[in-house]
Amino acid sequence: MKCDKCNNKAIEHIRYSGAHLCAEHFTEFLEERAKKEIRGIKGRAAVALSGGKDSTALLHFACDKIEEVIAITLNEGIKGYRDESIKIAADNCRALGIEHVIVDLKKEIGFSIDDIFSLYEKRGIKHAECSFCGVMRRYYINKVAKGMDVDYLLFAHNLDDMAQTALMNITHNDLARGLPPYSGRVFVKRIAPFKWIPEREVAIYCFVKGINCHIAECPYARVAERNRYRSAVNILEKGTPGARHGIVKSYDRISKLFCREGEIKRCRECGEPTSREICKRCEMANTLHDLKNSPDFSFSEEV
Ligand SMILES: [Zn+2]
Ligand SMILES: [Zn+2]
């Protein structure tokens, strides 16, 4: 099959648009959509970098299109997974010649995600690693970005992520949550340049550009609620090409009607912006310390 725009061989058939594109025109098609999301931004941008395919692709895209870029990584402490991806993230930053800040969760709150997992296992509490990761990543990446005079935070959420989150929020009757990158609740402006780009296309982009990224699934992903929504979105998209775009566009329109910018207070414990008395990060850290220090904890640790 030939490319619709030139005589070269097509490498991908875009089902929702019907187009067949060669490597060069595929790259152009992807970058044009991502460029729309960063149009007009000026100043310093930070990429929230994990080393996985989405954020590493975003890092390369951003370095190419934005003048001043740095990268911020949260090391959640997941042995055999995050340590590998951080090494790749650092290699990419070095190759691109950009500053890379790594925040270590264990140093910050005294627990890594591995510690949290084993603590919860021992206490027989339902796993919630993904919600911990999400809260901690948002908190620390924003905090570091503010400290480094960053004007824009770039997150690598792709179209599949956005559609899954939209369905998840609807299922939980939580329209006010908005879609990543959750605007209005924090001070550094957040942008998701890949918001309209399917996950598969980001993967092809990495391949075409020869980007070195970490390909592995988080060992805790199997317990994630998100997996159910991933399957649901895939089924919808297969039967109705363009379903993901429809879900995200509709959600954006609906949530704009319901989303009120809540009053921003300062967390009583850490002073960071929050809509509550104590921010989610501090609440989670307090719960973990309580769990660890409760008398029957050491008891169950022996089992
Ligand atoms: Zn072409
Ligand atoms: Zn706090």
pLDDT of amino acid 298: 47
CA of 266 to the centre of ligand 2 (A): 8
Nearest ligand for residue 142 CA: 2
Structure-token match 């899954």, residue found: 164
Span from the CA of 269 to the centroid of ligand 2 (angstroms): 5
Higher pLDDT, residue 184 or 22: 22
Q: Which ligand is nearest to the CA of 273?
A: 2
238 vs 261, more confident: 238
Ligand 2 center to 277 CA (angstroms)? 9
CB 46 within 8 A of CB 154: yes
Distance from Cα 208 to the centre of ligand 1, integer Å: 13
Mean pLDDT score across all residues of the chain: 89
Q: How many angstroms does the Cα of residue 207 sit away from the middle of ligand 1? A: 17
Is residue 247 within 8 A of residue 163, CB to CB? The reply is: yes
Using one digit for the tens of pLDDT, what is the confidence trace for 269-300? 999 888 889 999 999 999 888 888 876 654 34
Provide the sign of the torsion angle of the four alpha carbons 12, 13, 17, 18, taken in this order.
positive
pLDDT number for residue 176: 73
Ligand 2 centre to CA of 203 (Å) is: 36
Higher-pLDDT residue of 166 and 260 is 166
pLDDT computed for residue 178 by the predictor? 74
Among all bound ligands, the one having the nearest atom to the CA of 268 is: 2
* pTM for the structure as a whole: 0.91
Q: How far is the CA of 51 from the centre of ligand 1 (A)?
A: 29
The Å distance, Cα 103 to ligand 2 centre, comes to 17
**Where do the domains of the chain lie, and which CATH numbers do they carry?**
41-301 (3.40.50.620)
Q: Shortest CA distance to 162 belongs to which of 194, 189, 132, 138? A: 194
Tens of pLDDT, residue by residue over 185-210, are 557 899 999 999 999 999 999 999 99
| Distance from the alpha carbon of residue 30 to the mean position of ligand 1, in angstroms | 13
Q: Ligand nearest 266 Cα, by number?
A: 2
